[in-house]
Amino acid sequence: MKYRDEITKAMTMLGKDERTIFIGQSIAYTGHLMFGTLEGVPMAKRIELPVFEDVQMGMSIGLSLEGYIPISVYPRIDFLIIAMNQLINHLDKIGEMSCGRFMPRVIIRTMVGSTKVFDPGAQHKQDHTEALRAIVTNINICKLEKASSIMPAYEAALKAKNSTILIELGNLYED
């Protein structure tokens, strides 16, 4: 069981659900390690975005409120920080702000950058898992530390009643 293969299998599973739509960078065009894991996802379910993380999170929330389950891809967890306003003040709190009337479900896929082959620099390999756990109250957070945890975690995210952040580890892609 290989990490990358399990991620690919999970993306294919998510792609088969009629409610899902994939949004983010390296979704329709290559440019990041994550792109190759989407081979089983139909192109019609992919929305390629430029680098504007805050807008991406806002779009993901809006799609969710319209009945979709967005798979919002942030190739590096370092840049999920740019979407924190939408993540913390909106996605995490909409249920509370609306007295339970609105419950957006977004699956956020991100990665702690790989340091194998070459060092990508300090701003591309940070791990903000614990900081996220400390700051959100209504979003599930799952760090995928072994291949066997990947499919169960993505299946749980698809079934969850709230949003989930799944944090992949780039260094495990080649193991």
Q: What is the pLDDT of residues 74-114, one digit of tens each?
A: 999 998 999 999 999 999 999 999 999 999 999 999 999 77
pLDDT digits (tens, 9 = 90+) for 4-25: 999 999 999 999 999 999 999 9
**Pick from 74, 85, 87: nearest CA to 137:** 87
Q: How confident is the model at residue 69 (pLDDT cuts 50, 70, 90)?
A: very high
Instruction: Give the model confidence (pLDDT) of 132-145 as tens digits.
Output: 999 999 999 999 99
Give pLDDT, residue 117: 66
Contact 14, 41 (CB under 8 A): yes
CATH number of the domain that residue 29 is part of? 3.40.50.970
Structure confidence at residue 122 (pLDDT): 67
Domain that holds residue 34: 3-172
10 Å CB burial of residue 134 (0-12, 13-18, 19+) is exposed
Number of separate domains in the chain: 1
Q: How confident is the model at residue 121 (pLDDT cuts 50, 70, 90)?
A: low
> Mean pLDDT, the chain, as a whole number?
93
Contact 148, 1 (CB under 8 A): yes
